[in-house]
A and B are shown apart, each in its own frame.
Chain A
Amino acid sequence: MLRNYKKPAPPSDDKRWRLVEATMRRHGHDPNALIEVLHTVQESFGYLEEEALQFVAASLSVPLSRVYGVATFYHFFNLKPQGEHSCVVCMGTACYIKGSGAIVEAIEQEFGVKPGETTPDNKFSLLSARCLGSCGLAPAAVLDNSVAGKLEPQQVVERIREWTK
């Protein structure tokens, strides 16, 4: 198969693309590195926008359909921008048994967002996780990248209220 060896240019002159390019270089632009590269894109930009997918597809010589397939198959990848703050509620068995459902319900009622959604003002995203592996602290949640445990619904709602003020 004849490959187009001309290196595609990043979609913009945003410096974060350099991180993405560095990851691709480290893997020798190997199509196998697709997931690793998508991880870097998400780490740098917070989500996978369409032009990022196109850029990665062209750079790794992978069909866009496969890139899109992988990006949507894995739950970890977001195709939509996330809010400024995030709360990931663990829905693992231990947390479920100890009432993580009530936490999600309380947040839903207070802020009108379901898991996977962001408030209209882009301040806050509610997410759910399969298991954070912090079952000893059930029910647990990740509030802006730090794990908090033994939570009460009201306590979480209050934290989020501070963010959305």
Chain B
Amino acid sequence: MMIEDLQKISDAERAEAQKYEHHVHVCMETACIASRSDQVKQALTEAAERAGKPCRVKGVGCMGLCSAGPLVKVEPDGTMYKGVTPEDADEIVQKLGDSPVSRLECDTNVPFFQRQVKIVLENSGEIDPERIEDYVARDGYLALYTALTTMTPSEVIAQVAKSGLRGRGGAGFSTGLKWTTVAKSPGERKFVICNADEGDPGAFMDRSVLEGDPHAILEGMTIAGYAVGASQGYIYVRAEYPLAVERLKIAIRQAKRLGVLGENICGTTFSFNVDIRLGAGAFVCGEETALIASIEGRMGQPRPRPPYPAEHGLWGYPTLINNVESYANIVPIMRKGADWFSAIGTEKSKGTKVFALTGCIENTGLIEVPMGISLREIVFDIGGGIPDGKKFKAVQTGGPSGGCIPEEHLDMPVDFESLLQIGSFMGSGGMIVMDETSNMVDVAKYFMEFCMTESCGKCVPCRVGTAQMYDLLDKLTKNEATMADLQLLERLCDVVKYTSLCGLGQGAPNPVLSTLRYFRHEYLARIQEANHEAAFLTD
């Protein structure tokens, strides 16, 4: 594999694309396929053949507006169609190059599309994730080639460090620092792991990246392997994402055939392999030491840190663990430079963040925005506000370890520090909007039930504490709680938060704490209700 070979593939692919006057992109992601986009693609292909138009129909990754699927985009004019059915195929093909089919048209001139900055999702919706040639034609694997042939591992790490990239898994640890630690740790073998165990309910960013642009992850991981001196990588992905697993398998096979993965990559002495490991539905396996235990074929229980996986990880060897989105940022950083990346975002949080915007909101889907944007812009401009004329109540970020943010904090910039300050958490990027009909005590109970059942049972505060807190919340929702119960709940929050072994337990009280902080009156109302009922019974 030489640079000329990459160039050749890229040229051939572009020449092939130019043969067609029109390009029809059909979203082929889990959500759109659920709304029959596979049939839409089939119908469009047949319609194009029938009409004899110079048009190429291509299955692509997520285009963002998942709730309006199946989405179809027509290039080069950039028309977007929503809610397309197989029956619409002929009409769409006939109107190619003419005025668009207005009844299906989706206006792209709205903030949802205009306000986004795409780095991680740059190829999503543009390339066919099952064809490596398409990825190469968009300068894919060029960054890997350049890194391997012109840079030393420490130069690669320096560039990542300079970009200011922070881990996108939630905690926001500096990626450059992590890479440096692994590179410096002595070990005869080293490993690179991609954490694709996206367990937060309401989050699907990683699934979209894996389904829409799997090669970006492979390339990012290979660059990481070169930088830290590893020769084996693992992608730990949820078994609940069969399509993502399938596309990764295809991508790995294609990359090996092309010589950008496997032995002697790009004709250098560097070798790197990637294997897929399936998760089995345990939320705690998103925690890095539990994830390592799971790859080793054991129960996914975390262990105390330090030593950190960077020094003592998979089978005791130094191991680099990054999230899917972190790896997806590596290729653009290598290609466009650290300065370009660090110019986006805020002083301490660089670049962009992908969010899965869901819940009671007009535009449900996947968005990528620069760090520092305000929550208000996300919810009301990009998200289009709350449907059915209802009132906004809170937005929940950070999954079961995060918090609910009320209206008064909507103008806060979205970055790692600000979210922590108001009692929430960046998390992996799920953003669930709640309207006035949502009851916050119920929401807290919902998350506590989640943490209680997902607790691995290793440490007492989490195993027992979450169950006790759940019982108290249950009492509250049934209007049976007293003030003493509320005080006990608050004390328990403190104990579990500060004494649990891993992030699951430490974060479990957050939904309760944040709802208590901003919606205490709802808790009090439940207690008052309980008092009324008690008084009524004694009368």
Do A and B actually bind? yes
What is A's interface to B at a CB cutoff of 8 Å? Answer: 30-36, 38-39, 62, 66, 69-70, 73-77, 91-94, 96-98, 129-138, 140, 146-149
The CA-CA distance from A74 to B434 in the complex, in Å, is 31
Contact A92 B281 (CB under 8 A): no
* Contact (Cβ within 8 A) A70 B67: no
Find out whether the CB atom of A136 lies under 8 angstroms from the CB atom of B202.
no
Q: Complex Cα distance A137/B202, Å? A: 11
| Interfacial chain A residues near B202, Cβ < 8 Å | 92-94, 131, 135
Name which residue of chain B comes closest to A138, CB basis: B358
Q: Is the C-beta of B262 less than 8 angstroms from some C-beta in chain A? A: no
Q: Find the B residue at minimum CB distance from A38.
A: B280
How far, in whole Å, are A131 and B365 apart by their CA atoms in the complex? 15
Whether the Cβ atoms of A129 and B240 lie closer than 8 Å is yes
Which residues of chain B are within 8 angstroms of A132 by Cβ–Cβ distance?
Answer: 30, 240
Q: Are A131 and B200 in contact (CB under 8 A)?
A: yes
**Which residues of B have CB within 8 Å of A31?**
297
Specify which chain A residues have a CB less than 8 angstroms from the CB of B447 in the assembled complex.
93
Q: Which residue of A lies closest to B454 (CB)?
A: A130
Q: Which of A39, A98, A134, A135 has the most B CB atoms < 10 Å from its CB?
A: A135
Contacts of A34 in B (CB 8 A): 297-298
| Interface membership of B465, Cβ < 8 A | no
A-B contact pairs, 17 of them (CB 8 A): A36-B278, A66-B298, A70-B298, A74-B282, A75-B281, A91-B201, A93-B201, A94-B364, A131-B202, A131-B203, A133-B204, A134-B34, A135-B203, A135-B358, A136-B69, A147-B31, A148-B34
Known A-B contacts A69-B299, A134-B31; the reply to A77 vs B240 at CB < 8 A is: no
B432 interface residue, CB < 8 Å from A? yes
Chain B residues packing against A (C-beta within 8 Å) = 30-31, 33-35, 65-67, 69, 198-204, 207, 239-241, 277-283, 294-300, 356, 358-360, 364-366, 396, 399, 430, 432, 434, 438, 446-447, 450, 454, 456
A residues near B399, Cβ cutoff 8 Å: 93
The residue on A at minimum CB distance from B366 is A136
Chain B residue, CB-CB nearest to A146: B34
| Alpha-carbon distance A70/B297, docked complex (angstroms) | 8
A137, B456: Cα distance in complex, Å: 30
- Most chain B CB within a 10 A radius of its CB, from A76, A133, A137: A133
Could you tell me if A133 and B203 are in contact, using CB atoms closer than 8 angstroms? yes
Question: Across the interface, do A133 and B198 meet the contact criterion of CB distance under 8 Å?
Answer: yes
Q: Are A137 and B277 interface neighbours, CB within 8 A?
A: no
- By the criterion CB–CB under 8 Å, are B34 and A93 in contact? no
| A34-B297, A35-B277, A94-B358 known; A137-B201 Cβ under 8 A | no
CA distance A73 to B282 in the complex (A): 8
Residues of B within 8 A of A36 (CB): 277-278, 297
CB-CB under 8 A from A149, the residues of chain B are: 31, 34-35
Residues of B contacting A38 in the complex (Cβ-Cβ under 8 angstroms) = 280
Residues of A within 8 A of B280 (CB): 35, 38-39, 74-77
In the bound complex, residues from chain B placing their C-beta under 8 Å from that of A129 are 240
Note all chain A residues with C-beta closer than 8 A to B360. 97-98
Question: Contact: A96 with B277, CB < 8 Å?
Answer: no
B364-A138 in contact (CB<8A): yes
Residues of A contacting B204 in the complex (Cβ-Cβ under 8 angstroms): 131, 133-136
Interchain residue pairs A-B with the least CB separation, the first 8: A136-B66, A74-B280, A92-B201, A76-B281, A133-B204, A94-B358, A34-B297, A147-B34
- In Å, the complex CA distance between A92 and B35 comes to 19
In the complex, residue of chain A having the shortest beta-carbon distance to the beta carbon of B438: A97
Q: Contacts A35-B297, A133-B204 given: A147-B358 contact, CB under 8 Å?
A: no
- Chain A residues with CB under 8 Å of B69's CB are 136-137
- In the complex, A80→B10 CA distance in Å? 51
Q: What CA separation (Å) do A98 and B201 show in the bound complex?
A: 13
CA–CA, A145 to B366, complex, Å? 24
* B368 CB → nearest A CB, Å: 15
Q: Specify which chain B residues have a CB less than 8 angstroms from the CB of A147 in the assembled complex.
A: 30-31, 33-34
Q: What residues of A have a CB within 8 angstroms of the CB of B366 in the complex?
A: 136
* Whole-angstrom CA separation of A134 from B30 in the bound complex: 7
A132 to B201, CA, bound (A): 8
B-side contacts of A69, CB under 8 Å: 299
Among candidates B31, B283, B438, residue contacting A136 with C-beta atoms closer than 8 Å = B31
Find out whether the CB atom of B278 lies under 8 angstroms from the CB atom of A131: no
Which residues in A have their C-beta under 8 angstroms from that of B358?
Answer: 93-94, 135-136, 138
- A136 nearest CB across to chain B (Å): 3
Structural contact, A97 and B359, CB atoms closer than 8 A: yes
- List residues of chain B with CB within 8 A of the CB of A140: 34
CB-based contact B239/A76 at 8 Å = yes
Is B359 a contact of A137 with CB atoms below 8 Å?
A: no
How many angstroms from the CA of A91 to the CA of B296 in the assembled complex?
Answer: 29
Q: How far is the CA of A136 from the CA of B365 in the complex (A)?
A: 5
CA distance A146 to B38 in the complex (A): 12
A133:B34 contact, CB within 8 angstroms: no
CB-based nearest B residue for A74: B280
Given the known interface contacts A93-B430, A136-B69, the answer about A130 and B199 at a Cβ–Cβ threshold of 8 Å is: yes
| B277 / chain A contacts, CB cutoff of 8 Å | 35-36
Chain A residues within an 8 Å CB radius of B239 = 39, 76
The CB with the most chain B CB atoms within 10 A, among A131, A134, A147, is that of A131
B232 to chain A, nearest CB (A): 13
* A33 engages B201 (CB within 8 Å): no
Residue from the set A30, A70, A74 with the largest chain B CB neighbour count within 10 Å: A74
Question: Considering the chains assembled together, what is the distance between the CA atoms of A97 and B433 in angstroms?
Answer: 9
A38, B364: Cα distance in complex, Å: 36
B356 and A93 contact, CB distance less than 8 A: no
When A32-B297, A149-B31 are in contact, do A39 and B278 touch as well, CB less than 8 Å?
yes
